[in-house]
Amino acid sequence: MPRRPVAGHSTPRVAQTVSDQRLKIVAAPLGTWEFLAAPDKASQNPSMIDLRAVDRGAVHATFTEAFADYAMTSAGLTEERLLLRMEKNAIAYDVSVGAYDDGRMVGFTLIGVDSWGGAVTAYDAGTGIVPAFRGQGLARRMFDRALPALRDRGVERFSLEVLQQNQPAIRAYKKSGFEITRELRSYVADAAILSPSATSAASTWDVRPIDARTFAPVAQDADWLPSFENRFSAVKRIPNDVILTGVFDGGRCVGVAAYSPPLR
């Protein structure tokens, strides 16, 4: 997030090999959520419970099953990596919800709560229903279940990100009162083909590792709002799993980058 262009960005050399997956940010101000508190007229099965006492291994198993046919592969998402991502996203297990059928978790919504963009915000870091239980309105029932606990925590809005091609998810979220608020681009490239550009090699800018104390003030100065998932304060939640880099103009840090290898 440099505050002015930084020489030596290597993007142009790999642009043709970088794929661009657009994400939509969907948010619901809690004020528009009143209807969610209405009694659910659908079947009460599966039953809903919060996840505070639920074994994290069970959450990982259901996550893996529910996301097996997802557009982005979750192969390699070990339980450890899932837990790290939940830690980064400030997951509150007491407001997160599991849907249970005959003792088996068949769905979940993992909800983080943190300050974001100046408001206490809930963030849906992952909602999934195993295939046999989709199309029954379970996603909405889980949000219904979470709502009172979110209000008790002072949450002012609820945000999430969704791939634009994930129409079932967009339909489920819209039915639950979420609205599209902005569009993000998410880039991915094969690291093997990345290499420093010629302009980078010739640059006089000093690029070096920094610590969180150097990172924070430059990040706070940014004139744009990263998504909840990439909010600057997330760095503090997983300090041992983030690499921080700064760009220096003379002695002054003018740009920072944060990268978490385990979370890619």
Ligand X SMILES: CC(C)(COP(=O)(O)OP(=O)(O)OC[C@H]1O[C@@H](n2cnc3c(N)ncnc32)[C@H](O)[C@@H]1OP(=O)(O)O)[C@@H](O)C(=O)NCCC(=O)NCCS
Q: The tokens of 224 are what?
A: 């744009």
**From residue 43 to residue 82, what is the string marking binding to ligand X with x (rule CB under 6 A)?**
-----------------------xx--x------------
Q: Which x/- pattern, by CB under 6 A, does the window 196-235 give for ligand X? A: ----------------------------------------
Contact with ligand X (CB under 6 A) among 97, 146, 172, 218 = 172
Strand partners, 246: 208, 256
Q: Rounded to the nearest whole angstrom, what is the least distance from the CB of residue 207 to ligand X in the complex?
A: 34
Question: Distance between CA 35 and CA 21 in Å, rounded?
Answer: 32
For residue 226, give Cα distances in angstroms to 57, 229, 233: 30, 8, 11
Q: Which is nearer to ligand X, 44 or 195 (CB)?
A: 44
CB of residue 182 vs ligand X: minimum separation in angstroms?
15
**Is the Cβ–Cβ distance between 208 and 257 less than 8 Å?**
no
* Contacting residues for 111 by C-beta, under 8 A, at least 6 apart: 91, 92, 95, 96, 97, 122, 123, 124, 125, 146, 150
Q: With respect to ligand X, which residue has the nearer C-beta, 173 or 232?
A: 173
Going through the chain in order, the beta strands assigned E by DSSP cover 19-29, 47-50, 97-101, 104-116, 119-129, 157-163, 179-188, 206-209, 243-249, 252-259
Residue with the CB atom nearest ligand X in the bound state? 135
Write the Ramachandran bin of 77: left for phi over 0, alpha for psi from -120 to 50, otherwise beta: beta
**255 is a site residue for ligand X (CB under 6 A):** no
Q: Closest approach of Cβ 26 to ligand X, in Å?
A: 9
Identified binder of ligand X from the candidate list 154, 168, 196, 217, rule CB under 6 A = 168
Helix (H, G, I), strand (E, B) or coil at 224: coil
Quickly list H helices, the chain: 11-14, 56-66, 79-88, 138-152, 167-175, 198-202, 212-220, 234-237
Angle between helices 56-66 and 79-88 (to 10 degrees): 100
The region of 5-13, 112-120, 147-155, 164-172 touching ligand X under the rule CB under 6 A is 164-172
Q: How far is the CB of 167 from ligand X (least distance, A)?
A: 6
Q: In this chain, which of 9, 22, 171, 208 binds ligand X, going by CB under 6 A?
A: 171
Binding to ligand X, residues 102-161 (CB under 6 A)? 127-129, 134-140
d(C-alpha 154, C-alpha 152), whole Å = 5
Of the pair 188, 193, the CB lying nearest ligand X is at 188
* Beta carbon nearer to ligand X, 91 or 169: 169
Please state the closest distance from residue 191 (CB atom) to ligand X, in A: 25
By beta-carbon proximity to ligand X, the closer residue of 131 and 262 is 131
**Nearer of residues 48 and 247 to ligand X, judged by Cβ:** 48
Residue ranges in contact with ligand X by CB under 6 A? 66-67, 70, 127-129, 134-140, 162, 166, 168-169, 171-172, 175
